[in-house]
């Protein structure tokens, strides 16, 4: 009785849990699963490849060709030139100018050898003369092969030195003033005794000047009997002008005293 009751209860429970069938549906259709549609094919997400941008190619700008400077033809100074005196008599002096002390004279047609010149444009040349070389005016010479004196070496100032005075000290330049192209120089007075004069017309002061004229540097020696002098110095030269003062007496020269150029 007890087993029969238990069976009846189980059967009742199973019947109550079963789903109800519609009128048009039988048990076979209920138990057989319907066809399952295949899932849509998954389209993979678009993959982006990180492609680096093309590297910038720098094209170097063409380098302009360097111009090769054309060498300037410069002539090598000559050691000497042969010449002959054309004037009746010429004076050979201790310095490159007409106001220096007298050393010796050469007669017409005397053959001489020229061995140097002064810096700056001028006509004076150095003559080989034994133990004491001296200077002459080249306009009174016939130079072999019509050579230019500018082909000679520059020996003054520098290599050639005028003889020094054993009796006098150098002067001192006191002032140098400019008024346009005019330059005025004053220096301390030095009195040269009459016994120290080579002759009565000798200048006790020698002023050497490298001055500008027409865009070029000229060299000249000026004589003075008083302690001041005025001369012309133009503008327009690539090189600076300059000058100096010597005391002159018959045994030699004292100085120089440099001019502070205005």
Asked if residue 165 is part of any domain, the answer here is no
Closest to 154 (Cα-Cα) out of 93, 71, 98, 96: 96
pLDDT one digit per residue (tens) for the chain, 262 residues: 445 445 444 444 444 444 444 434 444 333 434 443 434 443 344 433 434 444 444 444 454 444 444 444 457 889 999 999 999 999 999 999 999 999 999 999 999 999 999 999 999 999 999 999 999 999 999 999 999 999 999 999 999 999 999 999 999 999 999 999 999 999 999 999 999 999 999 999 999 999 999 999 999 999 999 999 999 999 999 999 999 999 999 999 999 999 999 9
pLDDT tens digits, one per residue of 68-93: 444 444 578 899 999 999 999 999 99
Same domain, 152 and 108: yes
Last residue of a domain, one of 122, 156, 190: 156
Tell me if 235 is assigned to some domain. yes
The 8-class DSSP code of residue 149 comes to: G
Q: Cis peptide leading into 256, omega within 30 of 0?
A: yes
Q: State the pTM of this model.
A: 0.70
pLDDT tens sequence across 136-159: 999 999 999 999 999 999 999 999
Q: What rounded mean pLDDT belongs to the chain?
A: 82
141 plus 192 within the same structural domain: no
Structural domain includes residue 167 = no
Q: Per the domain annotation, does 35 fall within a domain?
A: no
Alpha-carbon torsion (117, 98, 173, 241), positive or negative? negative
Residues 133, 95 share a domain: yes
**253 phi/psi in degrees, rounded to 5:** -130, 140
Q: Identify whether 22 is part of a domain.
A: no
List the structure tokens of 89.
Answer: 């008599």
- Indicate whether 185 and 253 sit together in one domain: yes
Contact 121, 218 (CB under 8 A): yes
Side-chain half-sphere CA neighbours of 29 within 13 A:
6
Is 73 within the bounds of a domain? no
In the listed set 125, 156, 187, which residue is the last one of a domain according to the structure? 156
What size, in residues, is the chain? Answer: 262
Helices (H), the chain: 2-17, 27-31
Residue 3 domain-assigned (yes or no): no
Domain-ending residue, one of 156, 181, 212: 156
Domain identity same for 187 and 227: yes
Q: Tell me which residue range forms the domain holding 141.
A: 81-156
Q: For residue 188, is it within any domain?
A: yes
- Answer yes or no: do 178 and 119 share one domain: no
CATH number, position 202: 2.60.40.10
CATH number for the domain including 115?
A: 2.30.30.40
* Number of domain units in the chain: 2
CB within 8 Å of 255: residues ≥ 6 apart: 170, 171, 244, 245, 246, 247
């Amino acid at each position: 009785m007890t087993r029969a009751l238990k069976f009846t209860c189980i059967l009742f429970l199973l019947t109550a849990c079963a789903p109800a069938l519609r009128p048009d549906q039988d048990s076979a259709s209920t138990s057989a699963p319907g066809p399952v549609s295949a899932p849509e094919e998954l389209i993979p997400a678009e993959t982006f490849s990180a492609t680096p941008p093309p590297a910038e190619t720098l094209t170097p700008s063409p380098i302009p060709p360097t111009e090769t400077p054309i060498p300037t033809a410069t002539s090598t100074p000559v050691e000497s030139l042969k010449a002959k005196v054309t004037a009746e008599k010429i004076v050979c002096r201790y310095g490159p100018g007409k106001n220096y002390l007298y050393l010796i004279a050469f007669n017409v047609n005397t053959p001489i050898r020229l061995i140097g010149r002064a810096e700056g444009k001028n006509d004076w040349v150095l003559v080989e003369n034994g133990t004491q070389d001296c200077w002459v005016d080249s306009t009174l010479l016939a130079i072999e092969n019509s050579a230019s004196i500018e082909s000679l070496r520059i020996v003054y100032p520098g290599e050639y030195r005028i003889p020094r005075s054993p009796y006098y000290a150098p002067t001192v330049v006191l002032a140098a003033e400019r008024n346009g192209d005019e330059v005025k120089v004053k220096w301390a007075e030095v009195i040269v005794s009459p016994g120290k004069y080579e002759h009565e017309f000798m200048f006790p002061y020698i002023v050497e000047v490298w001055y500008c004229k027409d865009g070029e540097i000229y060299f000249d020696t000026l004589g003075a009997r008083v302690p001041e002098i005025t001369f012309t110095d133009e503008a327009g030269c690539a090189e600076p002008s300059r000058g100096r003062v010597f005391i002159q007496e018959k045994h030699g020269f004292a100085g120089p005293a440099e001019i502070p150029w205005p």
